[in-house]
Amino acid sequence: MLKYPSSKTTYDTTIPDSQTEADDSLSSAPKSKPIPTRKRRALALFLLFVWFYFIFTVSFYLFSFLGNHYHHALHVLNTAASKTYGGMTDTYQSITNPARREEVVELMTELYELLAEMGYYDAAMIGRPPHNPGINRTLAAELEFSLEAVEVMEMLPYLQQGQEEGPLGWGADNNFLLSGTFADLRDDGVLSFTRDPMFAIEDSSKGFDEDGGKYMRPNYVCLSLPGEGYGAIMILDVKTHQEVMGLQADPALKGIGLEEVPGNMFSPENAASRLARDALRDYIRRFRTLEWIPGGRFNGTWDGDEYVRLYKENGWPESFNSTAFNIAREQWEEDNMARWDAEAPFHEVTKLDYWIQVALDDIGRKRKMIADVDSGMEIPENKTDREAYKAELQEEVKKRIESLPKLHAELEVAREVLKSIDPEVKKTREERIRKYGA
């Protein structure tokens, strides 16, 4: 690799000679005594070697640094300049420790394994490369994925597709991360879907920079999908290893709005992003510390905190027993349903209160409309006759007023039932509402 050994050899053979000579000259010969030609040549050779070694080493580091980091450094500088987040720390990290695709693959694997460890699904469901059948390369080419994107897709682990058979874990709708769902890119349908995960393409003949056109560039790989449309999408740029969370869902990037740039408003490059490495490590930490619970729950909510309690009671994290946890979890879900039923008299009162309020609001609104008709204001276009329109409104008000006694009577009954509710049910409900709201 480096020329260190050879220059070392030069050092060993040359210096002792001249050193011996120098020592000799110190003791006996005059100081101006010229160095013999042979020794001078050796010294010159030695200095040449040292010089060459120096130049070689410096250039080696310089060129290897530039070679490895030029593209990435360029991108990072670009990003740091144009984005609010992704500044100093990321820039420093990327230059000293550039992101690699293997890291993303390792961290995605770790995340899938962690969810299995947490009892969300069986570890056997994690499909690891090489995949057979793998990514449909024909389709990927048709969809204009870059070669790098396809390579990364082939390296990633996947959870077996289970859309038809129901959720993969115990969360609803294959919940993976922040209500986003698992993306099994080995499935042709899923692969196609990742080209328009935000349902935003109006005209696929339009380019990446036109509104309504395509917005997922060839280097973008979806690590998760938005499910019903409200979940977070994780989008990986395989060139820069930056990860964009669709809908600005990444907690670390909260509050950073989409940039106002010309072109396609759905372009992920307009959104805040951070290195996939940082993002995935952060998500793993959040699951590990039970801030996020598999299945779409999170701490600080009633059911989230109950799940945290169940995890801890079953040994999380040091001696977790997922079998015992899942038994306790299913029991808790059953108890929670029973609790909901036991609290039915509260729900009845709340519901009737709400309906009465709706009726009163509607009466107030319609009476105002009647007054507006009387004062000569415009009536809707599809109403031709003012008097008929007014009579129609009055009829609606009358019906609402007539509905009120029945609602009030029902409310009386519901309140009566509520008086005899189990005090224990009442107490725990009040405690819960005090902490988490209704």
Q: Which residues bind ligand NAG (CB under 6 A)?
A: 136, 138-139, 142, 188, 289, 291, 299-300, 321, 323-324, 327, 380, 382
b/e per residue 145-183 (b: at least 16 CB within 10 A): bbeebbebbbbbbbbbbeeeeebbbebebbbbbbbbbbb
Q: Which is nearer to ligand NAG, 36 or 300 (CB)?
A: 300
Q: Which is nearer to ligand NAG, 72 or 400 (CB)?
A: 400
Half-sphere exposure of 47 (CA within 13 A, CB side): 6
What is the residue whose two structure tokens read 């209500």? 179
DSSP 201-221: -S-TTS-TTSTTS----TTEE
Nearest distance from C-beta of residue 287 to ligand NAG, angstroms: 10
Half-sphere exposure of 424 (CA within 13 A, CB side): 2
> Residue with CB nearest ligand NAG?
300
Q: Which is nearer to ligand NAG, 381 or 387 (CB)?
A: 381
Nearest distance from C-beta of residue 188 to ligand NAG, angstroms: 6
Nearest distance from C-beta of residue 244 to ligand NAG, angstroms: 24
Nearest distance from C-beta of residue 126 to ligand NAG, angstroms: 22
Nearest distance from C-beta of residue 289 to ligand NAG, angstroms: 4
Q: Report helix, strand or coil for 13.
A: helix
Alpha carbons 426 and 342: distance in angstroms, whole number: 9
Q: Which two three-digit tokens encode residue 307?
A: 């799940």
Nearest distance from C-beta of residue 145 to ligand NAG, angstroms: 12
Q: Which is nearer to ligand NAG, 52 or 193 (CB)?
A: 193
Q: Which is nearer to ligand NAG, 323 or 336 (CB)?
A: 323
Q: Which stretch of DSSP H or E encloses residue 72?
A: helix 37-82
Nearest distance from C-beta of residue 161 to ligand NAG, angstroms: 13
Q: Which is nearer to ligand NAG, 44 or 139 (CB)?
A: 139
β-pairing verdict for 234-237 and 175-177: unpaired
Q: Which is nearer to ligand NAG, 138 or 420 (CB)?
A: 138
What is the residue whose two structure tokens read 């998760």? 224
- Note whether 117 and 316 are within 8 A (CB): no
